[in-house]
A and B are shown apart, each in its own frame.
Chain A
C-alpha cells in the first residue's frame, strides 16, 4: 500500500501539496469567496447579514466619500507609479555603470524597502510635522518660505506628501529589479551600436528599453498592484484625512468595516477594487508583454 503510494505521482503529488493547499484554501480562497458574499449582505460586526443584493454597491456609487476615495486611489497610483518607474529606472541605470562600491550602494539603497513601512511612515510623519518639520526648517533658513508648510493638514499637500513617502519606499524595489534586468543585457549590443554611431539616447531608446520591456512589465505590474491596494502608509500618516482627501479604497474599507462595524459595506468596497486591479494587471502585463515576443523574445 505504502509502496504503491510512493510510485503514484498523483497520490504523492496530492500528499505533498496538502499543507500548502489546506492553508491557502482556508485562508485565501475561502475569504475571497466570503468577501464577495459579504459585499451582497448587510453584515455588521457580531451579526450575520442577510442578502440585500446590490444595495451596498448602489449606495457606494452615490456616496461622495467613496467617489473621492476612488479618485484619490487612481491619482495616488498613477502619479506614484510613474514617479517610481522614472526614478527607479534612472537609479538602475546609474547603478549599472561601472561605479565604485557598487555592492555597498545596492545594499544600502534597498533599506527603505525592507524596513517596516509602518515604522518608516512614522519617521515621515515626524518629517512632515506641521510645527517641527525639518523640511520647513531648512526652507525657512534658506529664505524660500516664511511660514512652516502644513504638509498633512491641507488636502493637496497631504496627497503629495503621501505620494512622496510611497515613492520613497517603492523606488528601491523598482531600481534593484530593473538593475537585475539591465545586467542581463549583453555589452556587445552597446559596442555594436556605438560603432554604428548611436548616441547614448539612441542606445537607451533602441537597445536598453526594448530589451528591458519584459521585466519592466512585470515590475510595474507588481508596483501598481501594491500601490493601488496601499494601506499602512495612509493609515499611519493621515488616517484618510484631512477631509478624506487621502482616503484610499483600502483605508476607507477598513474605516467602514472595522472601525465602523459595517462589514458588508467594507467588503463591497474591497471587492470594488478587484476590477480595477485586474484591468491594471491585464493592461501592464499583456500590453507590454506582447511587445517582447513581437521583437523575437521568447514566447512564454
Chain B
C-alpha cells in the first residue's frame, strides 16, 4: 500500500500489476460493454429459429449457423431497395452539402464580405437546431412542395444539418491555409474561383474527407425525417425500413431483424474503418474552436 502513495502521477513509475488493475481491466470492461451488442447482433443473425427460442444450451454460441435470415431479408422483403435508397440519399445529400459548404466556408473565412462574422455565427447556431423540433413544420413544407414520399424530401432536408456542420468544420481548415498563397495567386491574375479550386481545395483535402465522412455517416444514420416524410415501403431507408416493416404483429422475427440491423451497420462501419483518423478529426474539430 505504501508504494501506492509514492507512485506519484508518472506513468512509468507505476508497477505492472497496478497498471493492469487500474488501466487494462476497466478498459476491457468498457470494450466488452461497448462491443457486446454488435456481437449479439451478429450471432443472432446466424442462429436458426429453434436455437433462438430455446432456453437450453449456451446462447452465446451457435451450433448450426444458417444464412436463412439473410436470405429472407434479401429476397422476401424490400431490404435491397431500402439499401439502395439509403446509399443514394446519403451520397447525393453529402456531395451537395459539401459543395455548398466549401463555397460558404470560403466566402465567410476568406472573402470576408461585410457581415461574414454574423453569418459564421448563425451557421454555428444552425448547427445547434435539433431535427426533432424541425420535423413537424418540415413535414408540412415537404407536403406543400409536393415532395412527400419521394427521395427528394430527404435529399433536400438532410443538408439542414449537414451544411452547418461541414461549413463550420471547413472554416477551421481554411483558416489554417496561409493568406500569402492566395495573395500570390491574386497578383498572378487568378480569379477567386481559380484560387478556391486550384489552391485552397487541394490544401484542404483532409478537411474535405473529414467533413464528407462525417456527413455521410450522419445522413446514413438519419431517422426522424425519413420516418416522417416517407410512407411507401419501397422509398424507405434502412433504419426506418427495419424498424417499421420487419416488425410484424406480436411475433418478433429476431433473426431477420438482427440481420437487417447488421447489414445496415456494416457499410457505414466499413467506410469508417478506412477513414478513422479523418472521422476523429472531424468529430473533435466540430466541438473545438
A in complex with B: yes
Which A positions have Cβ atoms within 8 angstroms of B? 6, 9-10, 12-14, 16-21, 23-24, 26-28, 30-32, 34-35, 38, 43, 87, 90-91, 94-95, 97-99, 103, 105-112, 114-120, 122-124, 126-127, 129, 132, 134, 137, 168, 171-173, 176-177, 180, 190-191, 193-194, 197-200, 203, 215, 218-219, 222, 225-226, 228-232, 235-236, 250, 253-254, 257-258, 263, 266-267, 270-271, 273-274, 277, 281
Q: Is the CB of B113 within 8 A of A267?
A: no
Q: Is the CB of A117 within 8 A of B223?
A: yes
Residues B210-244 near A (CB distance < 8 A): 217, 220-221, 223-224, 227-228, 238-240, 242-243
Q: Which label, helix, strand, loop or mixed, suits the secondary structure of the B interface?
A: helix
A124: B residues at CB distance < 8 A: 37
A105: B residues at CB distance < 8 A: 27, 31
Which residue from chain B places its CB closest to the CB of A190 in the assembled complex? B9
Partner of A115 from B27, B133, B228, B268 at Cβ < 8 Å: B268
Q: Given that A99-B23, A114-B268 are known contacts, is A270 also in contact with B10, CB under 8 Å in the complex?
A: no
Q: Given that A14-B113, A168-B33, A215-B288 are known contacts, is A119 also in contact with B10, CB under 8 Å in the complex?
A: no
CA of A5 to CA of B284 in the docked complex: distance in angstroms? 37
Chain A CB within 8 A of B95 CB = no
Between A and B, how many residue pairs show CB distances below 8 Å? 284
Contact with A along B149-185 (1 / 0, CB 8 A): 0000000110110011001000000000000000000
Chosen A-B contacts, 11 in total, with CB atoms closer than 8 Å, are A12-B111, A16-B111, A20-B163, A24-B126, A35-B134, A120-B37, A197-B8, A200-B9, A229-B130, A231-B132, A258-B139
B157: A residues at CB distance < 8 A: 27
Q: Is the CB of A180 within 8 A of B31?
A: no
Interface centre among A21, A27, A198 (most CB of B within 10 A): A27
B119: A residues at CB distance < 8 A: 17
Q: Is the CB of A116 within 8 A of B26?
A: no
CA of A177 to CA of B136 in the docked complex: distance in angstroms? 32
3 residue pairs, one from A and one from B, having the closest CB atoms:
A13-B113, A16-B107, A118-B239
Q: Is the CB of B140 within 8 A of A99?
A: no
Q: Is the CB of B223 within 8 A of A231?
A: yes
Residues B105-162 near A (CB distance < 8 A): 106-108, 111-114, 116, 119, 126, 128-141, 156-157, 159-160
Partner of A229 from B8, B132, B192 at Cβ < 8 Å: B132
Partner of B224 from A30, A99, A199, A254 at Cβ < 8 Å: A254
CA of A258 to CA of B229 in the docked complex: distance in angstroms? 10
Interface centre among A32, A105, A118 (most CB of B within 10 A): A118
Q: Is the CB of A120 within 8 A of B265?
A: yes
Closest CB in chain B relative to A76 CB, distance in Å: 13
Closest CB in chain A relative to B30 CB, distance in Å: 5
CA of A100 to CA of B273 in the docked complex: distance in angstroms? 19
Which residue from chain B places its CB closest to the CB of A193 in the assembled complex? B9
Q: Given that A19-B99, A123-B41, A263-B140 are known contacts, is A270 also in contact with B33, CB under 8 Å in the complex?
A: no
B279: A residues at CB distance < 8 A: 110, 114
Partner of B40 from A28, A126, A180 at Cβ < 8 Å: A126
A198: B residues at CB distance < 8 A: 8-9
Closest CB in chain A relative to B105 CB, distance in Å: 9
Q: Is the CB of A274 within 8 A of B133?
A: yes
Q: Given that A23-B100, A32-B137, A119-B239 are known contacts, is A180 also in contact with B128, CB under 8 Å in the complex?
A: no
Q: Is the CB of A12 within 8 A of B217?
A: no
Partner of A137 from B59, B100, B139 at Cβ < 8 Å: B59
A277: B residues at CB distance < 8 A: 130
A32: B residues at CB distance < 8 A: 129, 133-134, 137
Chain A CB within 8 A of B249 CB = no
A26: B residues at CB distance < 8 A: 141
Closest CB in chain B relative to A282 CB, distance in Å: 12
CA of A253 to CA of B133 in the docked complex: distance in angstroms? 9
Q: Is the CB of A107 within 8 A of B132?
A: no
Chain A CB within 8 A of B254 CB = yes
Q: Is the CB of A126 within 8 A of B44?
A: yes
Q: Given that A20-B167, A176-B283 are known contacts, is A116 also in contact with B33, CB under 8 Å in the complex?
A: no
Q: Is the CB of B132 within 8 A of A177?
A: no
Contact with A along B249-273 (1 / 0, CB 8 A): 0001010011011001100110011
CA of A180 to CA of B116 in the docked complex: distance in angstroms? 29
Q: Is the CB of A134 within 8 A of B159?
A: no
